């Protein structure tokens, strides 16, 4: 994370960025924020799109992959396959506390209500991501969030400042048709679990297949929340995200 962030007029920038394509938005971010621009990816169902867009516009851009220790094996295989296919510069970050130690000391936090989920997110996701941003001297953080994914994302701008870093959402206004079209046009492989009833992916214990009569919100964290913590804002000055 860089302490020398450029002073961006966010209102003006968002008006201009709304007129640009996703690729042009990424290029603008690179020109504006320089070598401190990074991308994070969960290597989820639709992650190939942002990975392709970002690495095409900025070849070799650092891709932060937070490994919680509870990811599906298929997600690891998918990350390996996309790394080779797209020649990605993946940087894997994990919590210094192993899953077994955390469970021994705190139990299975994801079974302890929203407070437990929040603590789980801080330890296994927020801390590693925060460390990645600092070590990579990040000035800007690209992610593939989209407004249509959840109510918590419907008002996202294209660029915003979250504590000590700028976050940019190049495909925030895309719908599922845009995603599918891009994947087909560029022959991008889908996640191995994309055909098994999942509408969202994450840790093995945090998501479930969408069944009959289920609201889509119930497919993630049992309906208690949707965001994992990375895109809600950090707690205190020690967290940049």
For residue 208, list its beta bridge partners: none
Q: Could you confirm whether 228 is annotated as catalytic?
A: yes
The sign of the dihedral angle between the CA atoms of 49, 52, 56, 58 is positive
Residue 163 to residue 160: CA distance in whole angstroms: 10
The secondary structure of residue 223, as a DSSP letter, is G
> What DSSP string describes 172-206?
TT--HHHHHHHHHHTTPPPPTTTTTT-SS--BTTT
d(C-alpha 194, C-alpha 112), whole Å:
29
Residues shown for the chain: 241
Gap between the Cα atoms of 108 and 117, Å rounded: 9
What interhelical angle do 176-185 and 47-57 show, nearest 10?
60
Q: What tokens does 239 get?
A: 């967290």
Q: Which of 228, 230, 240, 241 is catalytic?
A: 228
Question: What's the order of all strands across the beta sheet hosting 159-162?
Answer: 89-93, 62-66, 37-40, 140-142, 165-168, 159-162
**Could you say which DSSP state residue 71 is in?**
B
Catalytic residue numbers? Answer: 228
């Amino acid at each position: 994370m860089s302490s020398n962030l450029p002073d961006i007029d966010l209102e003006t920038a968002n008006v201009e960025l709304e007129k640009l394509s996703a690729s042009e938005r990424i290029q603008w971010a690179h020109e504006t924020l320089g070598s401190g621009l990074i991308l994070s990816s969960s290597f989820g169902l639709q992650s190939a799109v942002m990975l392709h867009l970002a690495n095409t516009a900025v070849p070799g851009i650092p891709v932060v992959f937070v490994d919680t220790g509870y990811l599906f094996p298929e997600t690891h295989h998918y990350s390996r396959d996309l790394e080779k296919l797209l020649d990605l510069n993946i940087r894997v970050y994990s919590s210094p506390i192993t899953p077994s130690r955390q469970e021994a000391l705190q139990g299975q936090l994801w079974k302890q209500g929203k407070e437990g989920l929040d603590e789980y997110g801080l330890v296994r996701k927020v801390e590693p991501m925060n460390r990645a941003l600092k070590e990579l001297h990040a000035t800007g953080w690209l992610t593939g969030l989209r407004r249509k994914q959840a109510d918590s994302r419907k008002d996202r701008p294209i660029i915003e400042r979250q504590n000590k870093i700028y976050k940019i959402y190049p495909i925030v206004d895309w719908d599922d048709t845009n995603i599918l079209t891009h994947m087909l046009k560029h022959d991008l492989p889908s996640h191995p679990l994309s055909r098994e009833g999942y509408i969202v992916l994450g840790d093995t214990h945090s998501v479930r297949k969408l069944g009959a009569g289920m609201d889509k919100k119930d497919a993630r964290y049992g309906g208690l929340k949707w965001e994992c913590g990375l895109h809600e804002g950090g707690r205190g000055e020690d967290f940049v995200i």
